[in-house]
Amino acid sequence: MPARVAVVTTGGTIACRIDPESGAAIPVVTGPELVGLIPDLGRVAAVEVRELSLVPSWEFTLPYIDRIRRAVEEAFASGAEGVVVTQGTDTLEETAFWLDLTLDVPALGGPVVVTGAMRNNSESGADGPRNILDAVTVAAEGQNGFRAPVAVTNSHVHAARWVTKTDSFNPNTFQSPGHGPIGAVWGDAIAHSAAIDPLPPIPVSDPGKRVMLIRWAAGMDDLFLRACLDAGVDGVVIEGMGLGHIPGDTVPAVAALRERGIPVIITTRCWSGPALPVYGGPGGGRDLAAMGCIFGRGLNGTRSRLLLAAGLGAGMGQDELAELFAGPRGAVTV
Ligand code: ASP
């Protein structure tokens, strides 16, 4: 009996064709059509399609990403032994990380796999059909499969907690910097090169928290921080310079956010390494830590924003958020 695998479709390049009138790539390939493009699929699994949308992933919101999470849970509840999500690659790492934060894969009973494509279905060498075949092959491992969410593209399996889009054009875009892939798909065979342990899921009841990410550059002023203050956002993540520094004359705006009880997470704009409270002086890490800013440690800005949104959405206050970032969730990237 082939394994039962659900494919949750949302749109993205993997569902695009070139519109003959405008020449633009548009998501038009429905879920059933998408799996119909891959005749080999039936050999690998009994596939059931759950079509959620036909949109580019740059339109995704956190409540929508959480809707994908629910679709995954619903598919398992109706008997799937593995689930594949297809979406645009622009925010694939966000969906993957959110699923890693919120799902308990061993309890669900099978793999959770996210995939996408860099070349649409009108292009030579379209990578979508092969990526879906590989993703379904990984999902069809059922209880023997990867124990935390993964992304499968370009014949590689990446841990959802590490994977990132590194190139805006090349199909080899998805990488896990500092870690490498945890597996590979060689036709029907799946190589597991590293085990990935599940982390306890965060019980998010409100995925709609408004958390802003501000990337710093030399000489920027406090405009975006003040805008966050005026708008009364739920949380702010700063991608600071080096170990997470910002200019001294912007620090009063951070202090104002903190006085209002708004959590502020400090991360680094460097592509690897942590944000840490080492330096003194205004805008140094010691100064920011003394105001109650929380350090993102090994998480970059994008991932810190999701972890903060998940923690806030689970009702956590300042102390619990600090613990969350200080725990294994804050150490998952290098
Ligand atoms: N370039 C994107 C993709 O790969 C567009 C999107 O994210 O929807 O699908």
Q: Assess whether pLDDT exceeds 60 at residue 57.
A: yes
Of ligand 1's listed atoms, the one at least distance from the Cα of 14 is: 9
Judgement on whether residues 314 and 242 belong to the same structural domain of the protein: yes
Q: How many alpha carbons lie under 13 Å from residue 14 in its C-beta half-sphere? A: 34
The reported pTM is 0.97
- Nearest atom of ligand 1 to the alpha carbon of 11: 8
Q: What are phi and psi of 126, to 5 degrees?
A: -55, 130
Partners of 49 in beta bridges: 7
Is residue 31 predicted with pLDDT exceeding 70?
A: yes
One domain for residues 9 and 94? yes
50: in domain? yes
Pairing of strands 3-9, 82-86: parallel
Which of 82, 112, 102 is closest to 3 using CA atoms? 82
pLDDT at 334 over 60: no
Q: Is the pLDDT assigned to residue 333 strictly greater than 90?
A: no
> Atom 7 (ligand 1): residue with closest C-alpha?
88
pLDDT tens string 213-234: 999 999 999 999 999 999 999 9
Q: Are 187 and 224 within one domain? A: no
For residue 118, report the distance from its CA to the centre of ligand 1, in Å.
7
Cα distances (angstroms) measured from residue 114 to each of 98, 181, 288: 11, 14, 36
Q: What percent of the chain has pLDDT over 90?
A: 96
32 and 142 share a domain? yes
Q: With 90 as the cut, is the pLDDT of residue 104 above it?
A: yes
* Residue 159 is assigned to a structural domain of this protein: yes
Based on the fold, state whether residues 117 and 233 are members of the same structural domain.
Answer: no
Does residue 202 fall inside a structural domain? no
Enclosing H/E stretch for 287: helix 285-290
pLDDT band at 136 (very low <50, low <70, confident <90, very high): very high
pLDDT value of position 212: 98
Q: Are residue 100 and residue 249 in the same domain, yes or no?
A: no
Distance in angstroms (rounded) separating the CA atoms of residues 236 and 265: 6
3 state DSSP class of 81: coil
Mutation choice for ligand 1 from 89, 120, 173, CB with most ligand atoms inside 8 A: 89
Q: What is the tally of structural domains in the chain?
A: 2
CATH code of the domain covering residue 299: 3.40.50.40
The answer, yes or no, to whether residue 155 has pLDDT greater than 90, is yes
Domain that holds residue 166: 3-192
Does residue 102 have an active-site annotation?
no
Which atom, in ligand 1's list, is nearest to the CA of 58?
7
